[in-house]
Amino acid sequence: MDTTQDRFPTHRGRMTYVCLGCKARLDIAELHYTCPHCGEVLLLEDERFAALDRIAGIQWRKIFDLRAATRRCELKGVFRFYELIAPVLEPEDIVWLGEGNTPIIPASPALCSHVGQDLAFKNDGQNPSASFKDRGMACAFSYLKALIRRHGWDQVLTVCASTGDTSAAAALYAAYVGGAIKSVVLLPQGKVTPQQLAQPLGSGAVVLELPGVFDDCMKVVEHLAENYRVALLNSKNAWRILGQESYAFETAQHYAWDLADKAIFVPIGNAGNITAIMSGFLKLKRLGIIEVLPRIFGVQSAHADPVFRYYLERNAAKRRYHPVPVRPSVAQAAMIGNPVSFPRVRCFVEQYEQSGGPGLFHVIQVEEQAIIEGMLMANRHGHIACTQGGECLAGLLRARELGLMDKEELAVLDATAHSLKFIGFQEMYFANAFAPEYEIVPRRELVNRPHQVLSAEDKAGLSEPEYVLKAARSVVELLGLQSRD
Ligand SMILES: *Cc1c(COP(=O)(O)O)cnc(C)c1O
Ligand SMILES: [Zn+2]
């Protein structure tokens, strides 16, 4: 293990929390989620980031391209980009469960021609717990391990509120790290899918259900984090944002560090993911690793759209942020009326437009019907999009309607979770079983149901050859098969 790609990076940063409100700097030796002075959310900053500038952008590209072939587990996941993420961790701290390096799949030719635009899905559902949340958890847990090692803590209770995927990821990483770490997750009862509920249960976490929606659970968890000794794993935890920046780094690397004429579509829920993605691209640009920032399109359902409403006002001076009450949404993982990371989005949108000019950032609002049909349409063309991935496709179609897309542009859609986590919504569509609040009416051409060939009574009393013949005849009739001669 002494080839370049297997050597652990030597650069060490000096990281501090920075408050987005009063700009206070806080030591990372303590767990902080909000500023003790003004209550605003925090970001993590490497005060030695400028030192990375000593290596030219083209050289960084080479380093990361080489490292893609590493045999070191610590560098196989999101820490391929160690220097840009959390260069204060030691190899022994790093947790790797196979997260990151998710494929970008060009959409099938039929889907591209249906949409009228070239597009691709980055399949973040191919992460270990089947959503992008693993990227952030890998970083948050690595940092937690470092803290435990330093302080010699013998018990750490990790907590999070969740629309389903945060708790699945948190429970998975907690189960793997074990030792001092115990995982507790708080879920809005009936507002996560059965698959998402099964995940933390299977990982052995303590699962607490509360009445209400995600925003209610989040308030309870915030109260716990402020008043008791617990480690918060929601994206309020700035270490998660760092890990999720890897999505931007991988996307850039996939396209050979050339992001001209690329538009990145991201669903917005608590707004941690879009924060991380913008932050990541900005870092790459600052170091000359990319020359052009891609355009960013956030997408929100009309049933949970506070960020869309904020940016609807074109005059920045007149914009006002208001949380919204949410209505039921098939993009349930993004069904959030008061996104914790909203101040971070505002901060990075400003930087983004300063660096790349206006028109680089948009938020698109889509209807529930378009979201579920976006998922069905993607998956009918060989993709594995969840409802939030479908939301991105709906967002792309809407952006085209609004005249915001360039014909030459390639749209890269974040399929944030695996379709199987949200398969209940597909079933509700196929069975026309949506409650009226969803405002979804299935279109016959998209509905697919199993066909029963024979009933159990038809089978009763038949010998095996009789059964085969009878069943085969029914199949032949059903499919209108032609005989071979
Ligand atoms: C968490 C989640 C989102 C929303 O991401 P935020 O960072 O909360 O904006 C979207 N899709 C899926 C599948 C998620 O799990
Ligand atoms: Zn502050």
Give the whole-number percent of the chain exceeding pLDDT 70: 100
Amino acid at the residue 46: D
pLDDT at 221: 95
19 bridge partner residues? 42
Q: What is the rounded average pLDDT of the residues 150-160?
A: 95
- CA–centroid distance, 388 to ligand 1, in Å, is 8
**Substitution candidate for ligand 1 out of 123, 160, 165 with most atoms within 8 A of CB:** 165
Decide: 199 and 171 in contact? Cβ < 8 Å: yes
Q: What is the pLDDT of residues 127-143, one digit of tens each?
A: 999 999 999 999 999 99
Q: What is the pLDDT of residues 262-278, one digit of tens each?
A: 999 999 999 999 999 99
Q: What is the rounded average pLDDT of the residues 150-174?
A: 95
Q: What is the pLDDT of residues 312-362, one digit of tens each?
A: 999 999 999 999 999 999 999 999 999 999 999 999 999 999 999 888 999
Token code pair at residue 432: 């026309």
Helices in 333-453 by DSSP H: which ranges? 342-356, 368-379, 387-401, 423-430
d(CA 221, CA 269): 17
Q: What is the DSSP string of 19-65?
A: ETTT--EEETTS--SB-TTT--BEEEEETTGGGGGGS-HHHHHHHHH
Q: What is the rounded average pLDDT of the residues 228-257?
A: 97
Token code pair at residue 108: 């099938």
**Substitution candidate for ligand 1 out of 124, 132, 307 with most atoms within 8 A of CB:** 132
Count Cα neighbours of 476 within 13 Å in the Cβ-side half-sphere.
Answer: 9
What is the maximum alpha-carbon separation in the chain?
Answer: 84
Burial of 283: CB neighbours in 10 Å, binned 0-12, 13-18, 19+: buried
* Distance in Å from the first CA to the final CA of the chain: 63
d(CA 88, CA 423): 40
- Using alpha carbons only, give the angle 292, 103, 363 rounded to the nearest 5 degrees: 50
Q: What is the pLDDT of residues 178-192, one digit of tens each?
A: 999 999 999 999 999
pLDDT at 1 over 60: no
- CA–centroid distance, 42 to ligand 2, in Å, is 8
Q: Quick check: CB of 142 below 6 Å from ligand 1?
A: no
d(CA 366, CA 294): 22
- Judged by its nearest atom, the ligand closest to the C-alpha of residue 417 is 1
Q: What is the rounded average pLDDT of the residues 36-43?
A: 96
pLDDT at 353: 94
Closest Cα partner for 119 from 411, 407, 415?
411
Q: What is the pLDDT of residues 6-25, one digit of tens each?
A: 999 999 999 999 999 999 99
pLDDT band at 229 (very low <50, low <70, confident <90, very high): confident
Which atom of ligand 1 is nearest to 272's Cα?
7
Give the whole-number percent of the chain exceeding pLDDT 90: 97
Sheet holding 15-19, edge to edge: 25-27, 15-19, 42-46
- Judged by its nearest atom, the ligand closest to the C-alpha of residue 40 is 2
Closest Cα partner for 139 from 102, 200, 93, 179?
93
- CA–centroid distance, 241 to ligand 2, in Å, is 18
Q: What is the pLDDT of residues 418-464, one digit of tens each?
A: 999 999 999 999 999 999 999 999 999 999 999 999 999 999 999 99
pLDDT at 195: 95
Q: What is the rounded average pLDDT of the residues 83-93?
A: 98
pLDDT band at 369 (very low <50, low <70, confident <90, very high): very high
pLDDT at 257 over 70: yes
> What are the strands, taking DSSP E only, across 12-123?
15-19, 25-27, 42-46, 104-106, 118-123
- CA–centroid distance, 131 to ligand 1, in Å, is 8
Q: How far is CA 333 from the centre of its chain?
A: 9
- Judged by its nearest atom, the ligand closest to the C-alpha of residue 422 is 1
For the chain, the C-alpha Rg in angstroms (whole number) is 24
pLDDT band at 2 (very low <50, low <70, confident <90, very high): low
pLDDT at 180: 94
**Substitution candidate for ligand 1 out of 99, 122, 126, 163 with most atoms within 8 A of CB:** 163
Q: Which residues contact 104 (CB under 8 A, 6 or more apart)?
A: 120, 121, 122, 123, 251, 254, 412
Q: Which domains, from first to last, does the chain contain?
A: 104-128+241-445 (3.40.50.1100), 453-485 (no CATH)
d(CA 245, CA 160): 20
Three-class DSSP category at 386: coil
Closest Cα partner for 146 from 41, 28, 19, 242?
28
d(CA 386, CA 330): 10
pLDDT at 144: 97
pLDDT at 94 over 80: yes
